[in-house]
């Protein structure tokens, strides 16, 4: 009997299971932490996990956002209400944008009023790595993780001194500037990155001629992140990390005033890891995050919606019973401050969770359970179980079942009731229940040195969905989400290939209509090659036809599309590089949300300095 203990050993040697700088480890290969909250090899994960690394981010260029990068990954579809910086939604396996939990360096971020994350406010310059977990994960992370988890790791320091610099410009008068300094000596590590992005943008509503709607709607963003850690004794450590992004997005509101929305995302955390025994590591983390927005639709109209989250985690990782035991306690306090008077503006969640995973010869097992006690509606218990069998050296089958939930947002619960004699009443409902999901999936994977292939079937039933169609929030909707995900990577004759193909049937159970803005088919294909000092690549990203919303009507239908993007990197010298990227090379006219514009052909050129 062979038992895999290396993942636990790695967990005990790292700073924090939710903060570790995951990457390539000599014993684990590509290492991920989001699937189990403990480090493990990507090839060993029983859940569907995808990784976007720093090399891919560099090739994205200054005319590509995190939301656009996500759109090329398996199981993900996106929408945007205009160009750069506009409000965006990410659908994982057909779930809503509010069914995706977003973490930055282990900290929960997003709005507790709208119930959705603001991924458009996370600049690529601050990101070292993104891990995407597809499938329900409330048994690990609690509320919101019905569709999956997107965990973002900011840049961290390494041994030595590493300054970086980038300056670039592109179409739509886009320009960017960023600089960073990172390094380390002995067991001290530090990193600081800051920058500024700006673009004149595109016309968010090209068919509207009201007010200032005929102009372009730009975006600007100032940002920084920093991290410092210090090791002491043999394997203990303390550390601090901060993240800040402050942007303004102009939008079309049919007004004479040039309407805009100020958005800011902040997070900060302190962690301490102690190796209590050879087999037991304890990590404590205290943190804070804020999601603030101020809408100015006219010169005199101002609307604020702000979320503040205080968080505490105590996680223990123990070698036990031939595997790795996870035991943790979490505390979350959410406070909201709005321009509208809510009946309640605070809630507290206390959570305990247990998990265990191990490998015994050809058998892989992972089980998790979690209890969340919410001051608004009481308790919620979720669980998951996964099993994998390595029936041949290159082949493995796996299956899992799990439950998940999403707590109602403050808007859902407490938005003040407002009644109009013509349009009826509109408002929240304090008696709402959490949305609930039950997901089942099976998959098969094949992996060789230069090739990998994965195929997964999933069926996710989401009930008690919160519906606003009557004007009053209520738990009346049910969604049936079923699909197949296919993914492949390969290296052939010097070419690096990546492809994905998704088939999705996302239905409103009552009407039988397709859920809004979800295509039945979507996919991507990328090819890349190094030729001397050049790296050349191209990718195609596409979706089938969709309807803008339920009910499905002909006027709300959006056609399918395929976009061609291309990029090149040229090494001027050992430490200097030029990056060029062109998106939508064929200037395809397409829609992601009915009535909102999308960028035509656009290009960006950047000069980068990064000593090796």
Output the pLDDT for position 290.
97
Output the pLDDT for position 419.
87
In 3D space, the residue among 318, 241, 227 whose CA is nearest the CA of residue 275 turns out to be 318
**Over 80: is that where the pLDDT of 11 sits?**
no
Token look-up 């506009």 returns 86
> Residue 371 corresponds to which tokens in the numbers above?
């209890």
Output the pLDDT for position 5.
36
pTM of the model: 0.94
> Residue 128 corresponds to which tokens in the numbers above?
């070292």
**Over 50: is that where the pLDDT of 17 sits?**
no
Q: What is the DSSP letter of 308?
A: E
Q: Which CATH number fits domain 6-609: 2.40.30.70, 2.40.30.10, 3.40.50.300, 2.40.170.20?
A: 2.40.170.20
Across the range 20-36, mean pLDDT stands at 67
Q: From residue 234, how far is each of 12, 19, 187, 278 by CA, in Å?
A: 11, 19, 10, 11
Across the range 213-224, mean pLDDT stands at 96
Across the range 166-180, mean pLDDT stands at 97
For 560-584, write each residue's pLDDT tens digit.
999 999 999 999 999 999 999 999 9
SS3 string, 257-290, reads CCCEEEEEEEEEEEEEEEEEECCEEEEEEEEEEE
Q: With bands split at pLDDT 50, 70 and 90, how would you rate the model's confidence at 2? A: very low
In 3D space, the residue among 460, 470, 380 whose CA is nearest the CA of residue 427 turns out to be 470
Across the range 231-247, mean pLDDT stands at 95
Q: With bands split at pLDDT 50, 70 and 90, how would you rate the model's confidence at 29? A: low
For 429-451, write each residue's pLDDT tens digit.
999 999 999 999 999 999 998 99
**Over 90: is that where the pLDDT of 339 sits?**
no
Main-chain phi, psi angles of 541, to 5 degrees:
-125, 130
Whole-angstrom Cα distance, residue 209 to residue 147?
A: 38
Q: With bands split at pLDDT 50, 70 and 90, how would you rate the model's confidence at 463? A: very high
The better pLDDT of the pair 591, 24 is held by 591
Q: What percent of the chain has pLDDT over 90?
A: 87
Main-chain phi, psi angles of 113, to 5 degrees:
-90, -55
For 492-535, write each residue's pLDDT tens digit.
999 999 999 999 999 999 899 999 999 999 999 999 999 999 99
User: For the chain, what is the mean pLDDT?
Assistant: 92
Where are the extended beta strands (E) located within 81-216?
Answer: 88-92, 100-104, 107-109, 127-134, 148-154, 160-170, 174-185, 188-202
Handedness of CA 83, 85, 87, 89 (dihedral sign): positive
Rg over CA atoms, the chain: 23
Output the pLDDT for position 18.
38
Q: Is 423 exposed, middle or buried (0-12, 13-18, 19+ CB in 10 A)?
A: exposed
**Over 70: is that where the pLDDT of 353 sits?**
yes
Out of 111-115, 124-128, 420-424, pick the least confident.
420-424
Main-chain phi, psi angles of 10, to 5 degrees:
-65, -40
User: For the CA atoms of 546, 550, 551, 554, what is the dihedral angle to 10 degrees?
Assistant: -30
Other Cβ atoms closer than 10 A to 238 = 16
For 294-311, write each residue's pLDDT tens digit.
999 999 999 999 999 999
**Over 70: is that where the pLDDT of 119 sits?**
yes
The SS3 assignment for 125 reads helix
Output the pLDDT for position 23.
53
DSSP per-residue letters across 497-514: EEEEEEEEEEEETTT-PB
Q: From residue 569, how far is each of 162, 177, 310, 533, 539 by CA, in Å?
A: 20, 18, 42, 8, 15
The SS3 assignment for 411 reads helix
The SS3 assignment for 414 reads helix
- How many angstroms separate the most distant Cα atoms in the chain? 73
Out of 186-195, 416-425, 432-441, 599-608, pick the least confident.
416-425
Output the pLDDT for position 259.
96
The better pLDDT of the pair 339, 123 is held by 123
For 179-201, write each residue's pLDDT tens digit.
999 999 999 999 999 999 999 99
Output the pLDDT for position 255.
92
């Amino acid at each position: 009997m062979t038992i895999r203990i290396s993942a636990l050993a790695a967990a005990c040697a790292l700073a924090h299971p939710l903060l570790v700088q995951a990457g390539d480890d000599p014993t684990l290969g590509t290492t991920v932490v989001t699937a189990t909250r403990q480090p493990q090899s990507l090839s060993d994960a029983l859940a569907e996990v995808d990784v976007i690394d720093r090399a891919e981010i560099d090739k994205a260029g200054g005319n590509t956002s995190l939301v656009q990068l996500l759109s090329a990954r398996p199981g993900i579809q996106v929408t945007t209400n205009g160009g750069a910086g506009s409000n965006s939604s990410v659908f994982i396996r057909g779930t809503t944008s509010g069914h995706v939990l977003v973490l930055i360096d282990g900290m929960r971020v997003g709005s507790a009023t709208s119930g959705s994350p603001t991924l458009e406010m996370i600049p690529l310059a601050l990101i070292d790595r993104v891990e995407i977990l597809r499938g329900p994960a409330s048994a690990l992370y609690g509320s919101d993780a019905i569709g999956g988890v997107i965990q973002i790791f900011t840049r961290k320091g390494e041994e030595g001194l590493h300054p970086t610099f980038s300056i670039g410009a592109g179409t739509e008068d886009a320009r960017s500037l960023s600089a960073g300094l990172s390094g380390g000596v002995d067991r001290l590590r530090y990193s600081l990155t800051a920058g500024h992005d700006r673009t004149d943008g595109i016309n968010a509503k090209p068919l509207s001629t009201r007010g200032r709607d005929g102009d372009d709607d730009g975006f600007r963003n100032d940002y920084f992140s920093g991290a410092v850690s210090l090791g002491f004794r043999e394997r203990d450590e303390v550390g601090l990390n901060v993240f800040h992004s402050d942007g303004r997005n102009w939008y079309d509101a049919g007004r004479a005033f040039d309407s805009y929305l100020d958005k800011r995302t902040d997070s900060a955390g302190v962690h301490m890891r102690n190796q209590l025994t050879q087999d037991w590591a304890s990590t404590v983390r205290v943190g804070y995050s804020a999601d603030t927005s101020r809408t100015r639709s006219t010169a005199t109209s101002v609307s604020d919606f702000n979320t503040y989250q205080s968080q505490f985690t105590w996680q223990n990782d123990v070698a036990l019973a031939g595997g790795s035991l996870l035991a943790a306690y979490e505390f979350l306090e959410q406070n909201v401050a709005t321009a509208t008077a809510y009946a309640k503006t605070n809630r507290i969640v206390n959570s305990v969770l247990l998990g265990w995973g191990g490998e015994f010869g050809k058998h892989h097992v992972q089980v998790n359970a979690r209890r969340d006690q919410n001051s608004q509606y009481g308790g919620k218990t979720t669980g998951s179980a996964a099993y994998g069998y390595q029936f041949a050296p290159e082949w493995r089958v796996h299956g899992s079942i799990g439950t998940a939930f999403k707590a109602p947002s403050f808007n859902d619960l407490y938005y003040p009731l407002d009644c109009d004699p013509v349009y009826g009443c509109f408002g929240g409902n304090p008696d709402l229940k959490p949305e609930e999901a039950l997901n089942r999936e099976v998959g098969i994977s094949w992996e060789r040195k230069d090739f990998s292939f994965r195929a997964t079937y999933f069926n996710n039933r989401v009930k008690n969905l919160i519906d606003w169609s009557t004007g009053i929030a209520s738990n009346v909707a049910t969604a049936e989400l079923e699909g197949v995900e296919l993914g492949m990577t390969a290296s052939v004759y010097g070419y690096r290939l990546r492809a994905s193909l998704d088939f999705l049937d996302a239905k409103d159970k009552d009407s039988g209509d397709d859920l809004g803005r979800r295509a039945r088919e979507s996919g991507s294909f990328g090819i890349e090659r190094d030729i001397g000092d050049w790296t050349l690549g191209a990718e195609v990203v596409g979706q089938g036809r969709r309807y803008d919303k339920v009910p499905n009507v002909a006027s709300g239908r959006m056609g399918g599309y395929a976009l061609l993007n291309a990029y090149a990197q040229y090494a001027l010298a050992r430490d200097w590089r030029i990056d060029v990227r062109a998106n939508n090379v064929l200037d395809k006219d397409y829609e992601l949300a009915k009535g909102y514009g999308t960028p035509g052909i656009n290009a960006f050129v950047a000069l980068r300095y990064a000593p090796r």
